[in-house]
Amino acid sequence: GAFLIAGSATGASGWDFAAALRASNPQVGVPVSVRTEGADGLARLFATYDFRLGAVPAGKLVPRILVSSLPPGLAKMQPIGRKTKLFRKILLPIVLVVNEAIARDRARLMALKIKQEIGASLTVEENGFLWSLAREYKVRDGNLDDLLVRVDVIPPSLALAQAIEES
């Protein structure tokens, strides 16, 4: 599928989602950059890809349209329900991409735990991965069990609810 980076027409820069997407899933290749004309343009872009939040619980895939910055006009969009819906559409693909990366890290941690349990030694690269995650998740001793408690996906509904509450 196509992976898009949608930004505002003003060119405001944000986190490098293209690099994050490539790092989280090297098979996707280079995402396409798309510019939209404000919040209404972004809503039209989502409609082009048939991105309907109501279809997600029924198993419809969420297009990985990653927005680098909130579009101009979002704060003033009316009615409030339309603004909230667009905000959730902006955040959901980001939450899913991050959760996919976390799930890969967790699976790798599980494999390392099994390796340790059977008495095999970790390689230098595996130890580096372990300590890198320990620093990222603030686990002092690099304990695999402590890391497995912290390295876990966040339910998208909880992440979206928290983001809406904080915005």
Q: 161 by DSSP, 3-state: which?
A: helix
- Using pLDDT thresholds of 50, 70 and 90, give the confidence band for residue 33: low
Q: CA–CA separation, 93 vs 17, rounded Å?
A: 11
The predicted pLDDT at position 44 comes to 86
Structure tokens at 55: 């279809």
Average pLDDT value for residue range 87-98: 89
pLDDT at 12: 34
Fill in the DSSP letter of residue 151.
S
Res. 138 pLDDT band, cuts 50 70 90: very high
Q: What is the pLDDT of residues 41-72, one digit of tens each?
A: 888 888 887 888 887 777 777 887 888 888 88
